[in-house]
Amino acid sequence: MITRLLDLPNSSNHQGVITVGPDSVGKNLTFEALVFDGGKTTSTDIAVASGFYDYIGDKEKVNVIPEDIRIRSLQEIKRKIEAAIDQMKVLSLVSLSGSMNESTIDGKNSRKPRKNLP
């Protein structure tokens, strides 16, 4: 689960930019996240406030997160996950294409067999 600090806008109309990460509360999640009575809004808090998890911390503690912030945070988390998946797809293609050569692309292996070492 992603547990990164969300920088929430401080204005009353919540028009600021929502950012996720790159700082992570990591091992301090149970001290710093709102659901554990901490003072930082984390992705875990957004997940609990959105109803994805009912058994993590105290759900009442995340009622302070405005609905528009929660939705925009979910959208940003989704965007980051999709970008990471797309990057992995590209890296997989590059890795795969790097291991292919002309002899394997057409289904024939024209490479000479290796000689056994003595």
pLDDT at 99: 56
Which tens digits make up the pLDDT trace of 62-118? 999 999 999 999 999 899 889 988 888 777 666 666 555 555 555 555 555 555 555
Bridge partners for 6 per DSSP? 20
pTM of the complete model? 0.66
pLDDT at 74: 92
Cα–Cα distance between 50 and 85 in angstroms, integer? 23
Which tens digits make up the pLDDT trace of 16-68? 677 777 777 888 899 999 999 999 889 999 999 999 998 999 999 999 999 99
Q: What is the DSSP letter of 65?
A: S
Nearest to 50 by CA among 23, 25, 32, 72: 72
Q: Indicate whether 2 pLDDT > 50.
A: no
Structure tokens at 29: 């999640």
